[in-house]
Amino acid sequence: MPLHRTLLPRLPGQPLARTLAETLTRVLVLGAALAGSAAALAQPATLPAAQVARGVIVQLRPTAASVRESTQAQRERLATVASDAGLDAAQTPMPVGAQAHLLRFAAPLSGTALDGALRRVRLNPQVASAEPDVRMHRLAEPNDPYYSSGVQWHLRTPADGGPAAINLPPAWALSTGLPSQVVAVVDSGALFDHPDMAGKWLPGYDLVSDVATANDGNGRDADAADPGDWVSSADAATAQFAGCTVEPSSWHGTFIAGEIAAASNNGTGVAGVNWNAKILPVRVSGKCGAWLSDVVDGIRWAAGVSVSGVPANPNPAKVINVSFGGSSSCTSSYQSAIDDATAAGSLVVVAAGNENGPLTRPADCRGVLAVGAVRQDGLKTYYSSYGSNVGIMAPGGPGADAGPRLYSVSNAGTLGPGQNTYDAKDGTSFAAPLAAGVASLMQAVNPSLTPAEIVARIQQSARGFPSNAAYPTCSNSKPVSGACNCTRETCGPGLLDADGALQLASSPAVSIVPVDQVSAGSTVTLDGSASTGVGGSSIVGWSWTLVSGTPVSIQSADKAVASVTLPAAGTWVFRLLVTDSGGRAADNTVTVTAVASEGSGSSSSGSSGGGATGWAWGLGLWAVALAAWMRRRRGG
């Protein structure tokens, strides 16, 4: 039984040309994610090797006597901190604001020496926070006109681009990517001659097995060029394309490729997330969509996994963006391909879907990063699928609502290729490449990161969702027809933040299970067991401490899972500092609120995860799914 495309509605009075050329060309990227913590971004424990610190900025933990503490007493406490950490402090601590002081090193530190110094300072129970005093530079920003004019608002800082902007400028100061990196786009193929993609394409492969669907006169071959995927009225009248929507060519694969890695800082067109990576085009779709068997073969081939009858991929990708899905739960064919790609070290990034409903395949498959869509104001779009198993939210454009859209490279041809140009689109298809691009930048900073480690850091660094009282709160049980305020339960950990993700790329990811509001007298579980080390290392040290709130005793404070009894109503902030087997450290905090209650309270916490929940094989649909069309859902 064919799976049909889902169209975003045409606005009243909207020109048909826009509806066809823009709205109908939006192809859905679906996906699922490792569920994770929405805890606030911790201070980075390590820095890229190129950075040098002249000292450490230390804020001491308050004590009962600290309110009346003299300057000399503070200096003595700081001297003790420096001595305990083995630091050769060069001079008297310099005040930084009202609460912190700069401890200058005798000589600048970098790399592992700096990491070790920071770790030792943070382990001191007198220290509330510590961060390196590094030289700040002007942010790296591209000169591409679509970016510099503000059209690519979604790449900017939230202060410049709006609440949903993914905060790339400070991330670009850390890395703009590497020419050796490969990101695969499993989609409709490539416009190899687009000038704003010059030098960015690898040869790729065409895995479309059906000649009529391929629309290029043959089946699988080494030419990944996109000939166009239009469906004419005559096509739709045939048995081959019965039920297909009449529509012009989408150039969808090229659009996504440009989002990830368009030629950047070249004074032309648009900027990509990763300025230097190469794109591997894996063509799996043509007229009216793609066959499931071609999609799963495309995922495997992109990751460097052997595919029968197809030459080996000489350029395996460590990040794979996939643009297809269906209406059923994850099936064995999809899950098997994703498992193979993950085992090969590749992260599969997909979109949450445009159904305004629970995630479906491959969004509910294990091991993928599912990306939902928000508007510029950070509210969930009316079309984005939802659920606690969404991996991250990113800009996807407003759809039929008012607001700025997402721009990338495209083509004016309605049938075959015409003039190369730029276009605007909306949908979760176009939110996913933003996360894929950020994942590739993280790998540039730390090539040893595994797919799971990348997901954990993207989720830990997520920014909190904004709230607009004029809109309802999103609901899993009763879908909201329009835009709505996200929660962790409906939209996952938070908003994609490129800078935060790159800051965490070289440090452990400290994942703390969120704690719901509890009643006074409750015993609360503090769970940091989902924290992960770097490059396959394990977490070997945990330290729970109280940051603020009435003094309480933390039980098992040196374990991954601790507990604490909250004696009265109030708010407490607890910090978890972890150390991995490679000697790297990082911290994160969790806030717990207790309220007065007549009844007895009990501890409660949100869910964490290392995989998607609600996954099912759907065996009853499996045989049908193998022969079903995987229709690209228009609108992303």
Q: Which residue numbers are catalytic?
A: 187, 252, 429
Question: What is the Cα Rg of the chain in Å?
Answer: 25
Which pair of structure tokens corresponds to residue 445?
């900073």
Which pair of structure tokens corresponds to residue 394?
């990113």
Give Cα 445 distance to the centre of its chain.
16
Q: Cβ–Cβ contacts within 10 Å for residue 216, how many?
A: 18
* Residue ranges with strand state E in 225-338: 278-283, 290-291, 319-322
At residue 348, φ and ψ (nearest 5 deg) are -95, 115
Helix and strand counts by DSSP (H, E) for the chain:
16, 22
Q: Would you call 541 exposed, middle or buried from its count of C-beta atoms within 10 A (0-12, 13-18, 19+)? A: middle
At residue 247, φ and ψ (nearest 5 deg) are -165, 160
- 76's CB contacts (< 8 A; 6+ apart) are none
Contact in structure between 388 and 358 (CB atoms under 8 Å): no
| Max CA distance (Å), the chain | 88
The H or E element that residue 84 is part of is helix 71-84
Whole-angstrom distance, CA of residue 391 vs CA of residue 33: 5
β-sheet bridge partners, residue 546: 574
Whole-angstrom distance, CA of residue 423 vs CA of residue 421: 7
Whole-angstrom distance, CA of residue 591 vs CA of residue 515: 7
What is the signed CA dihedral for 439, 445, 447, 453, rounded to 10 degrees?
-50
Which pair of structure tokens corresponds to residue 123?
């382990």
Q: Would you call 200 exposed, middle or buried from its count of C-beta atoms within 10 A (0-12, 13-18, 19+)? A: buried
Which pair of structure tokens corresponds to residue 148?
């510099």
